[in-house]
Amino acid sequence: MSSPAESRRAAEPRRPAAFSVDDPNVVIGPGPAAEPPRRVARAEAPRPFASVAVQPAAPAIATPAAAAAVPIASVAAAEAAAARPATPSRPVPWGLMFWGSAGGLVVLGLALSVIDLVADLYGRSGWLGTLGFVLAAVAAVAFTVIAGREAAGLLRLKAIDQVRDRAAEALASDDRAAGRAAVTELLTVTRHTPTLERARVRVQFHLNEIIDGRDLVHLAERELMTSLDEEASRLVTNAAKRVSVVTAVSPRAAIDMLFVLGSAIVLVRRLALLYGGRPGALGMARLMRHVVSHLALTGGLSVGDSVVQQMIGQGLAAKVSAKLGEGVLNGLLTARLGLAAIDVTRPLPFSALKRPTIQDLAGSLVRAPERDAAAPPAAARAATAE
């Protein structure tokens, strides 16, 4: 039976120690050391320091207390373990199963018919059969490559989403490790953007310094996203302008619609490429879905800040001409879609930098008819960026 002081000492963390720098065991460098604090911290983390902490009972009666504590703890752990798989009761993905198996059947049918065809061709003549076989092989290889690219594109989009989630987490918790992880992933995602080379080197350098999670993410956002954001605003503004002009001059409503749709897809694709994604056809479909659902979510929110101006703008424009009014409306729609696409494709949430507003992106559309209106400063900035 040990005295309380002794048992406390045994449970205690490591003692202070001094070493010579020549000691081979000393590794100088900022690399993350083993972090025993983290392990313990996680166990106690949920308690904010503001609350009054209740000290655990003094370990004077260490043995019985410990003996009693162990089964309770293990029972609790077992309960927790039992509860865990039950909570995320995911529904069986019937839709996925259907499309997966149906697609498999179609591919099998195609393969079968191709094999039959090649066999028939061989039946006709030897060289015809060889040609058929070569064509089939090339098609198969090309299909594999395309599928691989699509998969890679999807993975990349997923990686960008993950970076954004991690960054948001680091912004909320201000945790150094989380911030570092998010920024490291961001550097990987933006690896292929040549214009960011210098900024990436700078951020890489800051990764080794003692900077807290939120500050590090802000730093990375300012360094890496500033130029991309400007470019993105420019893309959206140009698309919006083009759409409004084409709508205003086009003779047929059907042409307008096609053009609006086409330029929306092109815009989303360009934004995705700009921010480091490279979506294929599947990736684009996924992105468009996200953009539209994001638009539905945020549309209601952003109505408040710009609806008045839209109404005024449209009203003025409509007075000049109904067709011009339609053009402005379509342009605004494109700008709004672009804004949603920026939110979806940008690998970091807007935090240190200002999120562009509809006025920044499409201010010139609304302002164009009312020549004498004073330019809002943000719109002026967007205009000078061109």
Partner 1 sequence: MASFVTDMVDRARLAARAIADFGENLVRPTVRIGVTGLSRAGKTVFITSLVHGLARGGRFPVFTPLADDTILRAYLAPQPDDAVPRFEYESHVRALVGDRVWPDSTRQISELRVVVEHKAGAAPGQTRTLTLDIVDYPGEWLLDLPLLGKTYEQWAKESLALSSTGPRAALAATWHAYNAGLDPVASADEQVAITAAQLYTDYLRSCRAERYSLSLLPPGRFLLPGDLAGSPALTFAPLALPAEAAPPEGSLWAMMKRRYDAYKDIVVKPFFRDHFARLDRQIVLVDVLAALNAGPAAVRDLEFALASILDCFQVGRRTLLTSLISPRVDKVLFAATKADHLHQVSHDRLEAILGRMIERAANRARYAGAEVDVVALAAVRATREARVRCNGDELPAIVGVPAAGERAAGHLFDGEREIALFPGDLPADPERVFDLGPGGFNGLMASSPDDAEFRFLRFRPPRIERTVDGLPSLPHIRLDRVLQFLIGDRFQ
Binding footprint of partner 1 on the chain (CB under 8 A): 4-5, 8, 12-21, 23, 25-38, 40-41, 43-44, 47, 49-50, 53, 55, 58, 176, 206, 209-212, 215, 218-219, 222, 352, 377, 380-381
- From the CB of 5, what's the least distance to partner 1, in Å? 7
- From the CB of 297, what's the least distance to partner 1, in Å? 30
Instruction: Using alpha carbons, select from 339, 349, 189, 348 the residue that is nearest to residue 278.
Output: 189
CB closer to partner 1, 109 vs 377: 377
Cα–Cα distance between 173 and 217 in angstroms, integer?
Answer: 12
CB closer to partner 1, 50 vs 81: 50
CB closer to partner 1, 25 vs 89: 25
384 near 237, Cβ under 8 Å?
no
CA angle at 245 for the pair 241 and 246, rounded to the nearest 5°: 115
Distances (CA, A) of 270 to 179, 322, 346: 28, 31, 12
- From the CB of 2, what's the least distance to partner 1, in Å? 14
- From the CB of 24, what's the least distance to partner 1, in Å? 9
CB closer to partner 1, 223 vs 326: 223
Q: Which helix (H) or strand (E) holds 233?
A: helix 226-249
Cβ neighbours around 162 below 10 Å, total: 14
CB closer to partner 1, 14 vs 84: 14
- From the CB of 15, what's the least distance to partner 1, in Å? 7
282 near 269, Cβ under 8 Å?
no
CA angle at 194 for the pair 193 and 198, rounded to the nearest 5°: 110
- From the CB of 224, what's the least distance to partner 1, in Å? 13
Q: How many residues does the chain have?
A: 386
Cα–Cα distance between 215 and 163 in angstroms, integer?
Answer: 16
Non-local (6+) Cβ contacts of 183 within 8 A are 167, 203, 207, 216, 217, 220
CB closer to partner 1, 41 vs 119: 41
CB closer to partner 1, 218 vs 346: 218
Cα–Cα distance between 341 and 269 in angstroms, integer?
Answer: 9
- From the CB of 34, what's the least distance to partner 1, in Å? 4
339 near 358, Cβ under 8 Å?
yes
Residue entry with tokens 């240190």:
352
- From the CB of 200, what's the least distance to partner 1, in Å? 14
CB closer to partner 1, 23 vs 254: 23
Structure tokens at 270: 């360009």
